[in-house]
Amino acid sequence: MLILKVFVGRYSHSQNIENRLLFLENIALSLRKGDFSIEHIKNLWNVLVKKSVTEVERSAFLKWVLKYKTSSNGKIKNYIFSDALLKSFFNDILCESSQTENFKIFNPDIFSCYEKIFEILNEKEENIEVVKNGFKVLKFQNLIGYDVLWSILLNCPNDKVLRDVKNLIVNINLKVPADEKLIVWQIFIEKWVESFQISSKSSNPNLSGHVISLLNLFIVQLDGRKYLHKDGPVAETVNLVIADKKSKLE
């Protein structure tokens, strides 16, 4: 039987992890631009997340990734990762199925990290505008990481993550500019149909329910009424029509 032990000694396990990450942080901030690479981060991800012994090192790493120092005027956040490295971490690790066991290792902490970096990157690219109670979508087609949300929905087994994923997908689709709603919602319906077809062939008996509840959430947020009930029959027949003055999608 394999027995895994954390480091023991004068300092606690959490102190040891935090001290080592602080050491790496100081190196990252002092090196020339580009010297701290995505390969270094992949090694840390592999050890502290994929092969973590406890939640301590996993949580510490995910918080460390998002650490920043505020400028003297308090308006600019300087992250320990450069913009390019943060984007590489997001695209090459958090959005990469091979690094996340096809998104099966996603837990609430990992998805929270994903969601925060999603917002950081898309705000920098001017794809969204961050407002007091969330964000507004400015350039839906350019969003970084949106399509990956559908992969997380179909593969992640964590119910809390799935709830947060569905909320984010719906929020994105409802916060697009008015003149883009027809196109964006058509894409949503196409993605939903594709996802439902995949879920109907899955060996996971709960997957179809999660996909259906996504559509229910979208309709509820859009229309304000519940059409589909989790426990029981469909209350009404739903004809979903997305239309403008010139054309409509049924």
Work out whether the CA dihedral 237, 243, 246, 250 comes out positive or negative.
negative
pTM for this one? 0.83
- 92-119 confidence digits (pLDDT tens): 999 999 999 999 999 999 999 999 999 9
* Domain residue limits, the chain: 140-250
The two tokens of residue 70 are 């505020």
- 41-63 confidence digits (pLDDT tens): 999 999 999 998 888 899 999 99
Q: Determine the Cα angle at 117 with ends 114 and 118, to 5°.
A: 80
**Is pLDDT of 187 > 60?**
yes
- Of 26-35, 91-100, 203-212, minimum mean pLDDT range: 26-35
What pLDDT band is residue 148 in, cutting at 50, 70 and 90?
Answer: very high
Q: Report yes or no: 49 and 25 within 8 Å, Cβ to Cβ.
A: no
Amino acid letter for position 109: D
**Is pLDDT of 120 > 50?**
yes
The two tokens of residue 13 are 């396990």
